[in-house]
Structure 1
């Protein structure tokens, strides 16, 4: 028996005490992250948003085996959010459509979800009417049965059977009424919305990506913010096997979904912690330029320092400096010597030949570029 066949469906229940304990940890982690964000300016926050949403879009597609061009996604997100990138990439119409769907869910989080809005999202994912080599119904709910199957032909394993197509309209009406209700908000709503939607599997394809967009929308509602600073999809993609295992287990159970909610909140917690690590780069850059606001630097020095503060791979050496900004080794050496004298670059100890340097952001923070060659 599948979850939607139980008489309690869709009256989900969970252990309030266990979930409450996990929620406290999530709220604390998110609060800490937002506290750190409060010290940086709007432009830096928007740069962090571009990275987070880009990672989310790319990961959500990767979960379903769809690979998107990273730079095209990043450029499309930045362009639609009005953020300038140093070297933007032209994006395809398809990627622009996928980005529009994700941004509509997060930026317009206060607008109710309607059938028409979902159909628009579906059309963004399948503008040609094809999923791979298969013709599918686009911008409307499925008309056939839906099974989640794996394995070779003749040895297939059925993981889940979704509700019959004749039930979909009624089931989706009930789901949308619940989601759009003012009585529901918070991180648990995101967990339930994700599960509920993928259990319905209302479309021929794209249910996972649309379900995760709905879950992200619930997260934006919980924080009352258009800015997303962490990516749950990115974390789910790292734990893809566990994701499918817990999803299948829950879909074959009853409507007591404590285990699913705990797993989802744990995933959310890890995504916040990962975002905090990424944010450290942004904060280091902000602190650096605040510390050296009055320091006299050339445009070339500023360019290279920004590159490495943004995570440019490879050692910061005179050789790589010269290569990156197309100057002579002697000029690069003079640039670096000047920065060493100003206590901005710190030669790394124990290196006799091909010295590389760390960047001092403040008295207590030292950013050392990755020790790989470019």
Structure 2
């Protein structure tokens, strides 16, 4: 028997004393982050939000095994928020769709969550009406014709069913209850409500596909309500990806348990607390990038140089060589060398010790 089959579903209970301390720590840290960011300059706030939303969108998709191009995600978010960035790239409709959903959830967090709004998010996730090669119902709850919605693992013929969602016939009633609760004036702490909403929606699993990503968008929407700001400075999705195995294990245990969700809440608050650790790393990276562009704001750079400097300021893997420059910018070896030499002359790049055919270069701090 699954949790949604219990007689009192969805009347969740929990041990308030058991979660009180950790919830308080999360709330305190949340306040510190918001206080720190309120004292930061506008540009730093803007860049931190851009970094956090980029992380949130890419990692939420990666949890589901969908790899999005980080540069495209960043460019899509920047364009929609009116943020000017160096090295912006064209974006495809799949990336734009995920970004549209996340921005609608976080930037319009005060608006009610409705079935039509969720349908719009779902349509944005699946612009072709297909999940991979399979045609799915888009902008609509799943139908009985699709069969039971199960979470399974294992090879064909040896599948293990971890969970089965409520039957499609029950979805109108299930979603009506959820949406009325989500939009009602809160009677519990706003972060606690985010944890409950996450579990409740992913248990209903109302769509043919995309339920995980929409669940996390709803969670971020509730975090924005808890923070009382559309500015996002921490990413729960990035931390869930790090704890992916435990996340799915905790979901399965909770969905096969009773309506006492204390263990789920404790894990959720721990995960959120850990997610806030990354905020300090994000701030350090943003500060470094902001200082670099401020220092070099008068320097003339071509689009290839802007792109490569942006990559070096973010997460550049390995050493920068002229060969790697040419490959990443889709330019000739001669053009790559000219670009690099120009940056050396402008005091932006320097040669690392060594030399020869594998000469490496690095940014001057």
Question: What's the TM-score once normalised by structure 1's chain length?
Answer: 0.81
5 Å matches for 1:131-146? Answer: 131-144=131-144, 145-146=148-149
CA change 1:330–1:98 in 2 (3 A) is closer
Name the residue aligned to 2:229. 225
Instruction: Tell me the secondary structure at the aligned position of residue 148 of structure 1.
Output: strand
Q: Measure how far apart 1:42 and its partner are.
A: 1.6
Does the 8 Å CA contact 1:284/1:309 hold for their aligned counterparts? no
Asked if 1:199 is matched to 2:183, the reply is no
Q: Measure how far apart 1:123 and its partner are.
A: 0.7
5 Å matches for 1:16-55? Answer: 16-55=16-55
Instruction: Tell me the secondary structure at the aligned position of residue 211 of structure 1.
Output: helix
Instruction: Tell me the secondary structure at the aligned position of residue 327 of structure 1.
Output: helix
5 Å matches for 1:111-130? Answer: 111-130=111-130
Alignment deviations for residues 3-59 of structure 1 (CA, whole Å, 9 cap, x no partner): 011122101111111211111111222222223212322222111111111111111
Asked if 1:8 is matched to 2:8, the reply is yes
Does the 8 Å CA contact 1:29/1:273 hold for their aligned counterparts? no
Name the residue aligned to 1:169. 172
Instruction: Tell me the secondary structure at the aligned position of residue 299 of structure 1.
Output: coil
CA–CA separation in structure 2 for the residues paired with 1:329 and 1:307: 14
Asked if 1:155 is matched to 2:158, the reply is yes
Does the 8 Å CA contact 1:40/1:286 hold for their aligned counterparts? no
CA change 1:284–1:5 in 2 (3 A) is same
Name the residue aligned to 1:178. 181
The root-mean-square deviation of aligned C-alpha atoms, in Å, is 3.3
Q: Relative contact order: is structure 1 or structure 2 higher (C-alpha 8 Å, sep ≥ 6)?
A: 2
Larger Rg: 1
- Greater Cα shift, 212-221 or 183-192: 183-192
Alignment deviations for residues 225-249 of structure 1 (CA, whole Å, 9 cap, x no partner): 1111111011111111111100000
CA change 1:154–1:85 in 2 (3 A) is same
Does the 8 Å CA contact 2:93/2:127 hold for their aligned counterparts? no
Q: How many residues align?
A: 341
Does the 8 Å CA contact 1:281/1:309 hold for their aligned counterparts? no
CA–CA separation in structure 2 for the residues paired with 1:68 and 1:255: 36
CA–CA separation in structure 2 for the residues paired with 1:329 and 1:46: 27
Name the residue aligned to 1:250. 254
Any stretches of 5+ residues in structure 2 without a counterpart? Answer: 321-335
Instruction: Tell me the secondary structure at the aligned position of residue 51 of structure 2.
Output: helix
CA change 1:170–1:39 in 2 (3 A) is same
CA–CA separation in structure 2 for the residues paired with 1:244 and 1:123: 26
CA–CA separation in structure 2 for the residues paired with 1:8 and 1:268: 28
Question: What's the TM-score once normalised by structure 2's chain length?
Answer: 0.83
Does the 8 Å CA contact 2:51/2:282 hold for their aligned counterparts? no
Instruction: Tell me the secondary structure at the aligned position of residue 152 of structure 2.
Output: strand
CA change 1:4–1:226 in 2 (3 A) is same
Name the residue aligned to 1:264. 268
- Greater Cα shift, 36-45 or 161-170: 36-45
Asked if 1:74 is matched to 2:74, the reply is yes
